[in-house]
Amino acid sequence: MAGGVNKVILVGNLGADPDMRYTPSGQGVCELRVATSESWNDKNGQRQERTEWHRIVVWGKRAEVCSKYLAKGRQVFVEGRIQTRTYDDKDGNKRYITEIIAADVQFLGGGGREGGGGGGGGGGGGQRTDGPPPPSDGDFGGYGGGGGGGSGGGGGGPDDDIPF
């Protein structure tokens, strides 16, 4: 294999409402915090659970749709790629942030900002957020300059405030 594969597929729940921002050039960017959980029985038969928090970055029209219709607790399907970026914090320390750059986001389950009415009838997937593809690596300028909080890892999150 010549290049390699960088592909992520997640199904999880939003741990916070989407954070919508715009770059100086007017490009929409929405940050989602998604929790995924796994559980297993340890060698003593005790049920164990671990929750991982993921920082998802959605660009363009998809970002605006996510910001409008998603809310804390909503289940989503995310497909994208992992990317690590760096920035210098206010004290001049280099910080690393690992994010998933979304290529596709689908809304699963019910609920959300526009009221959970409509009855959720039937399976067959969720609402797709079609729009232009995310910008290439060089177009990320202006995003994340100040906020970002936290070093390394996958975004971190309040383990004691799991929304589901």
pLDDT tens digits, residue range 56-96?
Answer: 999 999 999 999 999 999 999 999 999 999 999 999 999 99
State residue 115's pLDDT score: 44
In sequence order, the β-bridge partners of residue 10 are: 78
Structural domain boundaries enclosing 30: 8-139
Positions in the chain whose pLDDT score sits under 70: 1, 110-164
Query: What's this model's pTM, rounded to 2 decimal places?
Result: 0.66
Residue 44: C-alpha distances to residues 40, 41, 47, 50 (Å) = 11, 8, 9, 17
Number of independent structural domains in the chain: 1
Q: Is residue 148 part of a domain?
A: no
Q: Is residue 159 part of a domain?
A: no
Which CATH number goes with the domain that contains 54? 2.40.50.140
Q: Is residue 161 part of a domain?
A: no
* 89: nearest Cα among 156, 149, 160: 149
Total Cβ atoms within 10 A of residue 132:
10
Summary mean pLDDT of the chain: 78
Structure tokens at 94: 């280099």
Q: Indicate the residue type of 10.
A: L
Residue 16: C-alpha distances to residues 80, 149, 157 (Å) = 20, 15, 10
Structure tokens at 154: 């996958």
Q: Is residue 152 part of a domain?
A: no
State residue 109's pLDDT score: 80
Q: Is residue 103 part of a domain?
A: yes
